[in-house]
């Protein structure tokens, strides 16, 4: 086929424009190569939505921002990754507020025991004044914190006997993560909270070093804890979220248009992940029931009353301060 010089130039120009608009833009060298670390497995909704957001950012920026997701703690433990994002070793990190509280105590304000009754209350608070208040403290730690918090789920109790009220927890050895708020919560309920690394949890339950543990349903399922526990009390005793954090220097290096793309797509991904998480929790209860885990729903009012009597809320009101406590109670109602 004979082509004139003019038609060839036109065809070449059209192909070039199509490449810029399409996927061939990926072949261009990225101006910003960033890593985001997370402790959740690759199939977890957080990892799935992080990956989707990264792909959208890459497409929208023409390959100028290339963010790689590293799930399953590939870049280290939570505390390791927090250290890395602060130093600039990695650029982004998802981190539970209860763990971040070791650096920013205010990050655990939303995890006060039995504070949130349901998800609508959580999202109204965390997308409103309470979330804004907590983010202001995280920002003071020289970290970038995204507007939308991701869902880690409500925490539930598993054991080998039904838990119907606070009296069933007396002297019970319960594994908790190294989070001061959770240790305090179960101490005030007269249990025996025992901090143990998660990788030792299954064997500790199997050998009866501990009697019970607490975690969101997704962790109970992926950790196969139903194999060594018979009962699950849907206590909803605490809600925690994953904050998406960034290295300030790396984030400010992005030109405003690229920064806007990263913000927008990752905040949208957080909203999508919340829906995923709620649906997953509902389906997991059915799956875990089929695997032999017996569920019950205790009256949370009895737990709250026990904590009030033990002055748990009064103690943490003093620790957080009156201003912070006012923000929490404005969202959830009177606690102390």
pLDDT by residue (tens digit) across 259-308?
Answer: 999 999 999 999 999 999 999 988 999 999 999 999 999 999 999 999 99
The beta-strand segments (E) located in 189-255 are 192-195, 212-215, 231-233, 239-247
Closest CA to 233 of 300, 147, 332: 300
Burial class (CB in 10 A: 0-12, 13-18, 19+), 18: exposed
Q: Any idea what the Cα angle at residue 21 is, between residues 18 and 27, rounded to 5°?
A: 90
- Please, what is the end-to-end C-alpha distance for the chain in angstroms? 84
Stretches where the chain sits below pLDDT 50 are: 1-27
Q: Where in the sequence is the domain holding 171, given as residue range(s)?
A: 29-332
pLDDT tens sequence across 18-34: 443 444 444 455 699 99
Looking at residue 16, its pLDDT comes to 43
Identify the pLDDT of residue 3. Answer: 41
What is the three-class DSSP state of 319? helix
Residue 207 belongs to some domain of the structure: yes
Task: Please indicate, yes or no, if residue 1 is contained in any of the structural domains.
Answer: no
Confirm whether 10 is domain-assigned. Answer: no
Q: How many CA atoms lie within 13 A of 317 on its CB side?
A: 16
Is 254 part of any domain?
yes
| Predicted structure pTM score | 0.86
In a domain, 97, yes or no: yes
Please state whether beta strands 239-247 and 92-96 pair in parallel, antiparallel, or not at all (unpaired): antiparallel
Residue 77 falls within a domain, yes or no?
Answer: yes
At which residue do the structure tokens 């789920």 appear? Answer: 153
Residues 6+ apart with CB under 8 A from 91: 34, 35, 36, 67, 85, 246, 247, 250, 251
Residue 4 placed within a domain? no
In the chain, how many domains are there?
A: 1
Helical pair 129-139 and 322-332, crossing angle rounded to 10 deg: 150
The answer to the question of residue 40 being in a domain is yes
* 123: CATH: 3.40.190.170
């Amino acid at each position: 086929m004979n082509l004139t010089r003019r038609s060839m130039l036109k065809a070449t120009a059209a192909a070039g424009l199509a490449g810029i608009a399409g996927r061939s833009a990926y072949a261009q060298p990225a101006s910003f190569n960033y890593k985001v670390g997370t402790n959740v497995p690759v199939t977890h909704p957080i990892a799935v939505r992080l990956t989707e957001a990264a792909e959208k950012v890459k497409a929208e920026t023409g390959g100028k921002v290339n963010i790689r997701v590293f799930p399953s703690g590939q870049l280290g433990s939570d505390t390791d990754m927090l250290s890395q994002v602060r130093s600039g070793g990695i650029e982004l990190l998802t981190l539970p507020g209860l763990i971040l509280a070791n650096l920013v105590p205010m990050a655990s304000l939303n995890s006060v025991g039995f504070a949130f009754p349901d998800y609508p209350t959580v999202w109204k608070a965390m997308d409103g004044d309470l979330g804004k208040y907590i983010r202001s403290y995280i920002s003071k730690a020289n970290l970038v914190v995204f507007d939308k918090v991701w869902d880690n789920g409500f925490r539930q109790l598993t054991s080998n006997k039904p838990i119907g009220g606070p009296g069933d927890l007396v002297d019970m050895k319960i594994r908790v993560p190294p989070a001061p708020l959770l240790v305090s919560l179960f101490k005030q309920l007269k249990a025996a909270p025992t901090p143990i690394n998660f990788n030792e949890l299954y064997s500790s339950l199997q050998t009866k070093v501990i009697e019970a543990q607490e975690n969101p349903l997704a962790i109970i399922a992926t950790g196969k804890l139903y194999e060594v526990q018979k009962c699950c009390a849907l206590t909803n005793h605490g809600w925690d979220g994953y904050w998406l954090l960034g290295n300030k220097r790396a984030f400010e290096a992005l030109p405003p248009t690229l920064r806007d793309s990263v913000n927008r797509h990752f905040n949208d991904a957080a909203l999508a992940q919340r829906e995923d998480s709620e649906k997953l929790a509902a389906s997991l209860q059915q799956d875990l029931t089929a695997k032999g885990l017996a569920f019950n729903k205790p009256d949370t009012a009895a737990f709250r009353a026990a904590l009030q009597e033990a002055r748990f809320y009064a103690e943490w009101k003093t620790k957080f301060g009156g201003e912070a406590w006012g923000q929490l109670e404005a969202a959830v109602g009177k606690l102390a």
